């Protein structure tokens, strides 16, 4: 055995590390981002836009909102791209009366948003514009008018609701009411007067289904109408529920133009951003 000590100078130097290519780092970053987004969309929140006036006054056309996935458990409907990764609801969950929920249409799987009115076993009926649950009328009282500014070229739901604001701006002035469900949940609805869907037969909600209604009672194709694509939704299976509407993260009145960047800011309804649902 040699008594000669090895000096640092005698130790061979490690080979120089290969520098990481910038494109490799970018690919790793993008893959991580995709995984994070998928986890977020699958387990936590998904974003949705409001394409119509059926949920006025609470939600306006042009609102963008997040729907929480976890409150009712997970199903195929709550999976990204409606992938059939889950059978039933895991864990099993049921919305409460009064929740605003996003769900898949029973026929064509298009996203809809309505308020949960009837749970399994409930009897739901409209009588002369008044909602009845299990034979009892739901309390409904006047709550003033909803005044909505019209964007250029826009129209009110019906001509009698058109009026000019003091500054001459064209607006729509809609009759507004407050309903209070038996469980104490209170919310506002619009009612334009007696219409055909204001008196219905009693619907008994079967097991595993929900009766959904829009807050804009005379401008909503909901569970009062048969499930036909582009029309009513019928009684909605609980498995079709995507999540519970949570809060508005952006809102625009639709007047923005791509070629005029300043309108991206003037069109935003800043007072609605961050509002809970």
Question: Which sequence positions are flagged as catalytic?
Answer: 54, 114
**Distance between CA atoms of residues 42 and 83, nearest Å:** 11
Q: What burial letters (b/e) apply to 71-97, b meaning 16+ CB within 10 Å?
A: bbbbbbbbbeeeeeebeebeeeebbeb
Cβ atoms of 134 and 122 closer than 8 Å: yes
């Amino acid at each position: 055995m040699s008594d000669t000590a090895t000096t640092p100078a005698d130790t061979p130097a490690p080979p120089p590390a290969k520098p990481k290519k910038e494109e490799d780092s970018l690919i790793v970053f993008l893959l991580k981002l995709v995984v994070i987004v998928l986890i977020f969309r699958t387990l936590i929140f998904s974003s949705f836009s409001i394409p119509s006036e059926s949920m006025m006054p609470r939600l306006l056309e042009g609102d963008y909102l997040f729907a929480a996935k976890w409150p009712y458990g997970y199903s195929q409907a709550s999976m990204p791209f409606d992938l059939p990764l889950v059978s039933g609801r895991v864990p099993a969950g049921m919305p409460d009366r009064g929740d605003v929920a996003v769900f898949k249409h029973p026929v064509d799987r298009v996203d809809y948003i309505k308020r949960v009115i009837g749970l399994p076993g409930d009897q739901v009926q409209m009588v002369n514009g008044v909602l009845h649950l299990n034979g009892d009328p739901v309390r409904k009282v006047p709550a003033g008018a909803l005044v909505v500014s019209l964007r250029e070229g826009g129209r009110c739901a019906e001509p009698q609701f058109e009026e000019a604001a003091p500054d001459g701006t064209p607006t729509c002035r809609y009759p507004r009411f407050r309903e209070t469900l038996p469980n104490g949940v209170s919310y506002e609805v619009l009612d334009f007067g007696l219409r055909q869907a204001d008196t219905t037969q009693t619907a008994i909600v079967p097991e595993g289904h929900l009766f959904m209604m829009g807050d804009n009672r005379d401008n909503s194709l909901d569970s009062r109408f048969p499930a036909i694509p582009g029309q009513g939704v019928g009684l909605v299976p609980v498995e079709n529920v995507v999540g519970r509407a949570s809060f508005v993260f952006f809102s625009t009145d639709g007047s923005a133009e791509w070629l005029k960047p300043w309108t991206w800011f003037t069109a935003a309804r800043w007072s609605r951003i961050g509002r809970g649902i």
